[in-house]
Every structure is written in C-alpha cells, then in structure tokens.
Amino acid sequence: MTQRINYMQQSPELFKKFLDFNNQLHESAIEASIRDLVTLRASQINGCGFCVDMHVKEAHIHGERELRLHHVAIWRDSPLFSPRERAALAWAEVLTKLPEHGVPDDLYEHVRAQLSEKELSDLTFLVMAINGWNRASIAFKAVPGSADKAYGLDKANLA
C-alpha cells in the first residue's frame, strides 16, 4: 500500500490541535489499559490497519497480555475482560457503529453501572478521537508500521 498524502504535513495546524486533543485524553479518568482496548477495538471495527497496528504495539508497550489483545475482537465471548472493560468496549462499539436510532437506553444504563459520569464522558471523547484518526488514516491509506520510530512503537519489538 502506498500512502496517498501526508495529512499531517498538509494540515499541520489542524493536525497539531487534534494531536493536542488526543494527548489530553491521556490525562482523562479512563485508565490506560481501557484506552488501549477501546482504541484497538474501534480501529478493528473501522478496518484501519495503521491504527490496529499502532494500538497493538502501544498496548504491548503498556504491558497488556498478548492473549487479551487477540481476544479484543471476540471480547463478548472471552472470559479475559472485567465488567468495566466490557462496558467500555460495548460503549466504543455502539458509538463507532452508531445505530439508526441512537444509543439504546439499556446499553447506556449497563455502561453507567460500571463508569461514573466523568468516566463515561471522557470515554466518549476517546471514542470520538479514535474514530477521527481512523477516518484520516483510512482516507489517506496510512501504511501500518510507517510511523513506528516517530511514535516510539519500535520499542514494542513486534516487527
């Protein structure tokens, strides 16, 4: 695959603002392990190879177990995720796919049983961000692994 354009270079001001927004999410009420799972799952749903590659490497660097990374795609059937992680993954999926009639009340109530209002709000912004990154990377055919050195992902030693 060949990248179409480098959107970061073409729109540096917008890229920087979006990156700043994304980086602010590292200070959110959502712990890193859930951020890793959610960004990986949304990227899988969207079919973003660049982002799936990136988030697997990030999660590995953060100490996530390999089997759990394999199970993210089948999280509903896997015993490896806590109720809190399941709620976050369900929220990420519904916001990534957005059903025609919005988020069902029963799903909202299920997620609210696991997350505070602040956590749910922060998680929503995280899902918004990863879906934005997915769309840019897909639109311009970002090549998986092409930014490993720039983002420090070479430290994952997964190549």
Neighbours of 144 (CB within 10 A): 17
Report yes or no on 158 lying in a domain: no
Q: Angle CA(90)–CA(111)–CA(45) in degrees, nearest 5?
A: 15
Q: pTM to 2 decimals?
A: 0.95
Q: Where are the alpha helices (DSSP H) in 2-145?
A: 7-10, 12-24, 32-46, 49-61, 66-71, 83-97, 105-112, 117-139
Q: Structurally, how many domains does the chain consist of?
A: 1
Q: What is the pLDDT of residue 52?
A: 98
pLDDT at 100 (0 to 100): 94
The parent domain of residue 100 ranges over: 12-149
Mean pLDDT of 84-94: 98
Q: What is the mean pLDDT of the chain?
A: 96
Give the per-residue pLDDT at 1.
80
Determine, yes or no, domain membership for 5: no
In a domain, 133, yes or no: yes
Sign of torsion over alpha carbons 149, 69, 35, 73: positive
Euclidean distance between CA atoms 126 and 57, whole angstroms:
18
List, for residues 143-154, the tens digit of each pLDDT value.
Answer: 999 999 999 999
| Domain assignment present for 105 | yes
Classify residue 38: in a domain, yes or no.
yes
